[in-house]
Structure 1
Amino acid sequence: MQHSDTRAVRHGGGTRTSLLGIYLNDHLAGATTGTRRAQYMARTLRGSPLGEALEPIATEIAQDRRSLLDIMGRLDVPARNYKIYTGALVEMAGRLKSNGRLVRRSPLSSVVELEFLRLGVEGKAAGWRTLHRLSESDERLDRQGLDELIERARRQMRTLEDLRLQEAKAVFGTTGHEPVGGTG
């Protein structure tokens, strides 16, 4: 006997829409968190080399979130508002973390936030790869579009990792150089 959460409508040869809906809404919560954090970082660090490097990535991450919503629409998966709100609350709570400074932004903040973004993009890429696999049996999914999203996520991960390593070296190294993101 199957559990009730696995009994669901199948489309195009095999997609379980109820489980896929949960999965995609979880990714939507993550995408909401990542979009807000990337935009916050780009805005907070505006005028610094790190802020300038983050601005196009923040734009792409927001576009990727919209792509996820478009895919959900094509799959008839409704966006669950509580997941979106949860993602937004998680991002805001993340701003309250202790980073060694009470009033000003710590150089450590950029390292931790870049790690967070990098991990989020890695999760996003995993979601795109899952959908790509599902596209083999579900004609509602655009394989070429998913290929492009996967490649963009790979590029974002490389860029974020390079920025993270630069910041980590500046923060933890003994070079005496200021982090790219500055201290303010």
Structure 2
Amino acid sequence: MDAPSSQRMLEIYLNDHLAAATGGVALARRATRNNRDAAITPRLAAVAREIEQDRRSLLAIMRKLDVQVARYKVAMGWAGEKAGRLKLNGGLVNRTPLSDLIELEALVLGVQGKAAGWRTLLTIAEREPRVNTDMLRNLLTRAQQQFDELESIRVQIASEMTT
């Protein structure tokens, strides 16, 4: 069997990131909606809006690179986020403080994955003129800021759980 072409590998790669971004947007919205700390909620809401903007940026990059959206992967990302709600968190039906912590950890990991994707695209941009390197650098910087904010919130929630 022949190896997939570079374009095909790029399509697979970007659609995998789009699936993850779809789940990430849903998770960020849910974490914001379910948060009960008035000081944390606006911070989460700001990050959730940025995560949504980043997903739109990824779609714009895909259009520039003539990459078709694999709708089944987007659906899998959405379904994966829904399945992630079925976790043992110390309560069968109700949320517990552990739910908040686990969601924050998932968001932190998702933002790290997104940043890795932007770094990969920056590498590709060296030989692909359709990719806007300035935009990618801005997205990478924003991902680092999102990581810092989410990690700060995660640590706060973790410390409140243990007091």
Correspondence for 2:22 among 32, 49, 53: 32
Partner of 1:78: 68
Distance 1:118 1:98, change over 3 A: same
The residue number in structure 2 matching 1:13 is none
* Structure showing greater Rg: 1
The residue number in structure 2 matching 1:41 is 31
**Residue type at the aligned position of 2:2:** S
**1:45 deviation in Å?**
2.1
Report % sequence identity.
47
Task: Work out the CA distance in 2 between the residues paired with 1:168 and 1:47.
Answer: 13
Assess if the C-alpha contact under 8 Å between 1:114 and 1:160 holds in 2.
yes
Aligned length in residues: 163
**Stretches of structure 2 lacking an aligned partner (at least 5 in a row):** none
Q: 2: distance between equivalents of 1:102 and 1:137?
A: 51
**Which of 78-87 and 98-107 deviates more?**
98-107
Correspondence for 1:166: 156
* Residues 101-158 of structure 1: CA deviation (Å, up to 9, x unaligned): 1232100011110000000000000000000111111000000000000000000001
CA distance in 2, matches of 1:45, 1:119: 19
Q: CA deviation at 1:46?
A: 6.3
Q: Which 4+ residue blocks in structure 1 deviate beyond 4 angstroms?
A: none
Aligned to 1:61: 51
Q: Deviations over 1:79-116 (max 9, x none)?
A: 10000000000000111211001232100011110000
Aligned to 2:3: 5
- Aligned with 2:109 (options 119, 123, 134): 119
Report the TM-score when normalising by structure 1.
0.85
Structure 1 gaps, min length 5? 9-15, 176-184
**Cα RMSD (Å):** 1.2
Per the normalisation by structure 2, the TM-score is 0.96
Equivalent position of 2:124 in the other structure: 134
